Amino acid sequence: MINLTGKVAIVTGGTSGIGRAAAIAYAQQGAKVVVAGRRVAEGEETVRMIKAVRGDAIFVQTDVTQASAVKATIDRAVSTFGRIDIAFNNAGVFGESASLLDQTDDEYDRMMNANVKSVWLCMKYEIAQMIEQGNGAFASGGTTCIVNTASILATIAMPNIPLYVASKHAVVGLTKATALQYAKSGIRVNAVSPGAIATEMIEQATGGQDEAKAYMAGLHPIGRLGKPEEIANAVLWLSSDAASFVTGETLMVDGGFVAQ
């Protein structure tokens, strides 16, 4: 049984999909949750859903590609709840399908800012706060922790989305290097790599076409798309003291995709 009572968790990209599912899961296990994202209505809906399960949460509108916005979000979390014990850096975007020759400077900047710079900025300010709290430790004696969202495409590759593939490989590199640097500070850093999950991103990738979604589901040995809650369960475990000896790891939650 995972118990996060008394802990404070921040979730970026918490307005829908995996981020929303993780925010709710944290709250159900007793954590106070800071939901961060760009879309106000959707973020406030996540907070309402958390309060419906008797959780405690706030929404902070955030552009995770901007240092000032990230710092302001961390400051708001601390001023509201007093500390940060857990961070799930989940915000990111998916790219349009195109050959490398057809991709533009603007698309490169958009992809790297949303998927790589955002993770770097979030960890920069989260870790600074965790260290300031004292030895990066939970009040109950465990470690503080960060989980970053990578992808199966952080391990393998597919054609026509080279910038997305590169950005997710970079997330794993950032995760490993940061885990090594701050292990002795009592801060664990891991990543989760989802397969194809039934979220808005899959709707975008498939153009909402049932045939395309069925094809994508069939690529997974389990034979279906994953559910946001299934990724949230893995994130919850990585965020808890049940994973106290796990750092620098990338956990595949992919229905067997990468094992093929």
Taken in order 221, 225, 227, 232, is the CA torsion positive or negative?
A: positive
Structure token pair of residue 108 = 């490169």
Are the beta carbons of 253 and 226 closer than 8 angstroms? yes
Among 26, 108, 125, 164, the active-site one is 164
Instruction: Please indicate whether residue 108 is annotated as part of the active site.
Output: no
Which helix (H) or strand (E) segment holds residue 189: the answer is: strand 187-194
Which helix (H) or strand (E) segment holds residue 162: the answer is: helix 162-182
Nearest alpha carbon to residue 226 among 251, 256, 260: 256
Q: How far apart are CA 171 and CA 120, in angstroms?
A: 9
Structure token pair of residue 33 = 């949750």
Say how many C-beta atoms besides its own lie within 10 A of residue 83's C-beta. 18
Are the beta carbons of 178 and 112 closer than 8 angstroms? no
| SS3 assignment, position 176 | helix
The catalytic residues are 164
